[in-house]
């Protein structure tokens, strides 16, 4: 392997099959020692001082389990960096979103502050806290695993923060080649969003989201049949992906409910209180747009 030949000091962990983002990172997290662990996507490149800034932020906030910084897109716009993320927020339907996405960075996100979740594109975590929270959920494969982990950490009494002095460049989607409209993204994002709500959110919002998806899927199919021929194929394709995502969710639902009970038993902060924090941080982020 080229990496081990050129950098023999690097420990390389290999898997016999594709474990996805969640399982692949868990393979490393289970085998690593040390107080802190940094995650950096293979399509992300840290700017100078990135790690030092994250370490300093964790040292300043002992109850912070995960800290993230600015994630810039690889390409600038008119000589100014463009934001991929300034930390993450989550809406009432459980959808994670990057604060500042596609905004030219003019310093509008230069305040160090709490965020609901840290995108796993590039972040620094307390190893013990993440292990106590049972790491990423292997069932997710990819997408939403960072939202779920940070939500569980909050239930365990930890917080998540953002520091603007740490920055990375990210070639967004370079690994999966998946945009927001791709079948890969829609399938995993839809299924995993429901799994996250079932495990982590208060019961009523979780139930409402689970019941809403079949209605949304049926509406998409009806519009496809009744709509223009030029968009019929796209809508039918979306409906099929949503059906697959829902069936996969139902298959994993019993295991998710077992994990919900386990998470609830160990929680030191109520699901309702964490949900209030989610709503507050989302409202604050929206107000700054």
Q: What is the CATH number of the domain that holds 19?
A: 3.90.550.60
31 lies in the same domain as 119 = yes
Tell me what pLDDT residue 177 has. Answer: 54
pLDDT digits (tens, 9 = 90+) for 87-98: 999 999 999 999
Judged against a pLDDT cut of 80, whether residue 181 lies above it is answered with no
Distances (CA, A) of 252 to 96, 139, 207: 21, 8, 15
19 lies in the same domain as 153 = yes
Q: Which conformational region is residue 16 in: left (phi greater than 0), alpha (psi within -120 to 50 degrees), or beta?
A: alpha
For residues 124 and 8, the model is more confident at: 124
Judged against a pLDDT cut of 80, whether residue 57 lies above it is answered with yes
What mean pLDDT value characterizes the chain? 93
Tell me what pLDDT residue 187 has. Answer: 97
Q: Which of 208, 214, 210 is nearest to 253 (CA)?
A: 210
Distance CA(248)–CA(226), nearest Å, equals 27
Inside any domain, residue 190: yes
Inside any domain, residue 219: yes
* Average pLDDT of the segment spanning 194-208: 97
12 lies in the same domain as 131 = yes
User: What is the span of the domain harbouring residue 211?
Assistant: 183-267
User: Is residue 142 very low, low, confident or very high in pLDDT (cuts 50, 70, 90)?
Assistant: very high
Inside any domain, residue 91: yes
* C-beta separation of 129 from 150 below 8 A: no
Q: Which of 76, 38, 99 is nearest to 170 (CA)?
A: 76
Tell me what pLDDT residue 230 has. Answer: 64
Inside any domain, residue 158: yes
Report how far apart the first and last C-alpha atoms of the chain are (Å, whole number).
46
Tell me what pLDDT residue 227 has. Answer: 66
* Average pLDDT of the segment spanning 143-169: 98
Tokens found for residue 213: 């998806």
204 lies in the same domain as 141 = no
Inside any domain, residue 273: no
223 lies in the same domain as 143 = no
Last-in-domain residue among 170, 203, 221: 170
Last-in-domain residue among 124, 141, 170: 170
Tell me what pLDDT residue 213 has. Answer: 96
150 lies in the same domain as 216 = no
208 lies in the same domain as 145 = no
Inside any domain, residue 276: no
| 3-class state of residue 45 by DSSP | strand
* Average pLDDT of the segment spanning 251-260: 98
SS (H, E, C) 172-221: CCCCCCCCCCCHHHHHHHHHHHHHHHHHHCCHHHHHHHHHHHHHHHHHHH
* Average pLDDT of the segment spanning 21-30: 94
* Average pLDDT of the segment spanning 267-280: 98
57 lies in the same domain as 153 = yes
60 lies in the same domain as 123 = yes
* Average pLDDT of the segment spanning 145-165: 98
Q: Which residues of 12-39 are buried (b: 16+ CB within 10 A; e: fewer)?
A: eeeeeeeebbbbbbbbebeeeeeebbeb
Inside any domain, residue 277: no
Inside any domain, residue 251: yes
pLDDT digits (tens, 9 = 90+) for 105-127: 999 999 999 999 999 999 999 99
12 lies in the same domain as 152 = yes
As a residue count, the chain comes to 289
38 φ/ψ angles, rounded to the nearest 5 degrees: -105, 135
- The β-bridge relationship of strands 83-85 and 88-90 is unpaired
Tell me what pLDDT residue 135 has. Answer: 97
* Average pLDDT of the segment spanning 256-263: 98
**Total structural domains in the chain?**
2
* C-beta separation of 185 from 95 below 8 A: no
User: Is residue 173 very low, low, confident or very high in pLDDT (cuts 50, 70, 90)?
Assistant: low
Last-in-domain residue among 170, 205, 232: 170
Give the least confident one: 168-182, 237-251, 260-274: 168-182
For residues 47 and 33, the model is more confident at: 47
Tokens found for residue 199: 């495990």
152 lies in the same domain as 224 = no
Tell me what pLDDT residue 206 has. Answer: 97
| 3-class state of residue 101 by DSSP | coil
Judged against a pLDDT cut of 80, whether residue 80 lies above it is answered with yes
148 lies in the same domain as 202 = no
* DSSP assignment letter at 117: B
SS (H, E, C) 50-97: HHHHHHHHHHHCCCEEEEEEEEEECCCECCECEEEECCEEECCCCCEE
* C-beta separation of 65 from 158 below 8 A: yes
Global pTM value = 0.94
């Amino acid at each position: 392997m080229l990496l081990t030949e050129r950098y023999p000091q690097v420990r390389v962990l290999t898997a016999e099959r594709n474990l996805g983002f969640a399982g692949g990172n868990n393979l490393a997290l289970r085998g690593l020692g040390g107080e802190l662990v940094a995650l950096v996507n293979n399509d992300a490149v840290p700017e100078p001082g990135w790690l030092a800034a994250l370490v300093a932020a964790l040292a300043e906030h002992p109850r912070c389990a995960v800290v993230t910084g600015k994630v810039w897109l690889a390409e600038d716009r008119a000589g100014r960096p463009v934001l991929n993320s300034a930390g993450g927020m989550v809406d009432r339907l459980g959808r994670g979103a990057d604060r500042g996405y596609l905004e030219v960075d003019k310093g509008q996100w230069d305040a160090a502050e709490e965020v609901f979740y840290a995108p796993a594109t590039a972040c620094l975590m307390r190893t013990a806290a993440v292990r106590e929270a049972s790491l990423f959920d292997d069932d997710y494969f990819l997408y939403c695993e960072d939202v779920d982990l940070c939500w569980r950490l909050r239930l365990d009494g930890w917080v998540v923060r953002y520091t603007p002095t740490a920055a990375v460049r990210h070639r967004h989607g370079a690994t999966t080649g998946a945009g927001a409209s791709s079948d890969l993204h829609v399938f995993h994002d839809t299924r995993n969003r429901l799994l996250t709500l079932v495990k982590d959110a208060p019961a009523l919002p979780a139930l409402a989201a689970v019941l809403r998806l079949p209605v949304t899927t049926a509406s998409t199919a009806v519009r496809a049949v009744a709509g223009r021929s030029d968009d019929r194929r796209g809508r039918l394709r979306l409906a099929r992906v949503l059906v697959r995502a829902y069936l996969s969710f139902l298959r994993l639902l019993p295991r998710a409910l077992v994990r919900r009970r386990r998470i609830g038993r160990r929680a030191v902060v109520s699901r309702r209180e964490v949900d209030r924090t989610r709503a507050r941080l989302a409202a604050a982020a929206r107000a700054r747009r």
